[in-house]
Structure 1
């Protein structure tokens, strides 16, 4: 089963702006990316990138602890991260704000580059309104799959100019927000495991 790296361009502003404007959507994205009915997806890393201040929240599925699916609990983790970012104007290296949750300052290009590191082969996808149907892709055989998506369906412009060697795919004919896109992405990757890696 490949490792999954999900990068969500969460807001053109800061984390504080996103918490004010989109808290329910942020927490739903966290839940969709990391949580399953029986616990946490250990094979997933979620990066939430914020353009204001070029800040990134990283959730490490294999290390995250005490992550509950309710909005209040997940919102509390996000607020802790906001406080850390506000107190530390320059983060030279990632800092822990919660078990398995790191904050850092990085450009989107840096986050994409770091996500693709590791043992090849790596498949890098950008979820858009056009592109190949994700169900038609041959996902087996990859050690790592990176997915870039906007937080809201209306924010495709935030990732529109990102190239970085990503293959543009679509998960649906409808405009979907990040939580729905992530669920469809996980479903396709999970099917590899159900079929024993056979495409």
Structure 2
């Protein structure tokens, strides 16, 4: 299973936001929606072997984690509003300490980055990390930030995490996910190159 964890520093933890104002009123939820789509969509299909975790740290009730399972998700279309709508439904559901399903293949629970780091061995996607093209083996789980840098307390949590890079430039999180998945695809199917 391939996993992407994206931290949304200002992303709303209430489903009261408008789908017409995800960049402003929802704390840049649009960035997270693009990451969901980059993680899960192929042309005319979904990546069934990918999970996308959104760590929402905005007001009024942080932190919450939303999981999109490529294997089980339904009702997701390749546009930001579709992902945003499923996030709204997840945030409207009762949030417990363990994942509960809000819609098919979308889950929500209390807790944030520290909990996910205790559950998975992750690599931080960072332009100063080891180039993925020179690595013998690639990790299975990756951590990214939204449009903001990691906060000081997050930096303390990830100081010993392996850093890997898709290139020398700083890219948007959703573009980084696409490049990472492309590299994985190429390694899994070398005869198709």
TM range (shorter): 0.7 to 0.9
CA distance 1:58–1:74, change in 2 (3 Å): same
In structure 2, the partner of 1:15 is 13
Q: Which residue, out of 113, 123, 127, partners 1:108?
A: 113
Aligned counterparts, 1:88-99, within 5 A: 88=94, 91-99=96-104
CA contact (8 A) 1:67 1:74 kept: yes
Listed as ranges, the gaps of 5+ residues in structure 2 are none
Q: Structure 1 residue 48 and structure 2 residue 54: aligned?
A: yes
Q: 1:100 Cα deviation (Å)?
A: 0.5
| 1:126-158 deviation digits (Å, cap 9, x = unpaired) | 012312112211226xxx611011122x42447
TM-score, normalised with respect to structure 2: 0.82
1:80 pairs with 2:85: no
Q: Residue 147 in 1 paired to residue 145 in 2? A: no
Greater mean alpha carbon deviation, residues 47-56 or residues 12-21:
12-21
Tell me the CA shift for residue 12 of structure 1.
4.5
**TM-aligned CA distance change 1:66 to 1:10, over 3 Å:** same
Match for 1:70 among 79, 86, 110? 79
Structural RMSD (CA): 2.3
Say how many residue pairs are matched.
179
* Cα distance change on mapping 1:157 and 1:130 into 2, 3 Å: farther
Contact 1:150 1:177 in 2 (8 A): no
Deviates more, 1:59-68 or 1:17-26: 17-26
Residue 123 of structure 2: SS of its match in structure 1? strand
* Structure 1 portions without partners, runs of 5+: 117-123
**Contact 2:100 2:107 survives alignment (8 Å):** yes
CA distance in 1, matches of 2:136, 2:44: 28
Matched with 1:193 is 188
